[in-house]
Amino acid sequence: MKNKFTITLSDINGSKHYLLHQIIKKFILYFTLGVALVIVLGALYISFLKDNISALENKKEVALKEQEKLEKINQDLQISIAKTTQDYESVKEKVSDMEELIGLKPIEEDNIEVRLDEIEMAASQQKEFFENIPNGFVIEDIGISEKFGWRINPILKSKEFHKGIDLRAKLNTPVYAPADGVVEYVGFHKGSGFGNMLIVRHNFGFQTQFAHLSSKEVVKEAQFVKKGDLIAYTGNSGMSTGPHLHYEIRFVSRPLDPINFLNWSSANFAEIFKKEKRVTWESLIKMINRQYPLQRQLSLPQVQQ
Three-state SS annotation for 18-73: EEHHHHHHHHHHHHHHHHHHHHHHHHHHHHHHHHHHHHHHHHHHHHHHHHHHHHHH
Q: What is the pLDDT of residue 1?
A: 45
Q: Is the pLDDT of residue 4 over 60?
A: no
Please say if the pLDDT value at position 93 is more than 50: yes
Q: What is the pLDDT of residues 40-63, one digit of tens each?
A: 888 888 888 888 888 888 888 888
In what helix (H) or strand (E) does residue 95 lie, and over which residues does it extend?
A: helix 20-102
Angle between helices 20-102 and 112-132 (to 10 degrees): 20
Task: Write the pLDDT tens digit of every residue in 173-202.
Answer: 999 999 999 999 999 998 889 999 999 999
In this model, does residue 38 exceed pLDDT 70?
yes
pLDDT at position 89 over 80: no
What is the predicted pLDDT for the residue at 228?
A: 97
pLDDT attached to residue 302: 45
| Residue 2, pLDDT score | 47
Distance CA 211, CA 234 (A): 8
Q: What is the reported pLDDT for 33?
A: 86
Share of the chain above pLDDT 90, in %: 42
User: How far is residue 62's CA from residue 237's CA, in Å, rounded to a whole number?
Assistant: 91
Q: Is the pLDDT of residue 305 over 60?
A: no
- 88 versus 174: the higher-pLDDT residue is 174
Residue 88 to residue 106: CA distance in whole angstroms: 16
Q: Which CATH code, of 2.70.70.10, 1.10.645.10, 1.10.579.10, 2.60.120.10, is assigned to 136-263?
A: 2.70.70.10
> 199-252 pLDDT, tens per residue?
999 999 999 999 999 999 999 999 999 999 999 999 999 999 899 999 999 999
Is residue 111's pLDDT more than 60?
A: yes
User: What confidence category does residue 37 fall into, taking pLDDT thresholds of 50, 70 and 90?
Assistant: confident
Residue 304: its pLDDT value, please? 41
Q: Picking from 30-39, 117-126, 241-250, which range would have the lowest pLDDT averaged per residue?
A: 117-126
- DSSP character for 234? B
- pLDDT at residue number 114: 60
Q: What is the pLDDT of residue 260?
A: 95
Q: Which run of H or E residues covers position 286?
A: helix 281-291
Give the confidence band of 108 by pLDDT, cuts at 50, 70, 90.
Answer: low
Quick one: pLDDT at residue 11?
65
Q: Which residues of 262-277 are buried (b: 16+ CB within 10 A; e: fewer)?
A: bbbeeeebeebbeebe
Return all residues near 128 (Cβ < 8 A) that are at least 6 apart. 288, 291, 292
- Give every CB contact of residue 244 below 8 A, 6+ residues apart in sequence: 145, 166, 167, 168, 169, 212, 234, 236
Per-residue model confidence as pLDDT tens digits over 128-153:
899 999 999 999 999 999 999 898 88
User: What are the domain boundaries of the chain?
Assistant: 1-96, 136-263
Q: Quick: pLDDT tens for 272-297.
A: 998 999 999 988 888 887 776 655 45
pLDDT class of 155 with cuts at 50, 70, 90: confident
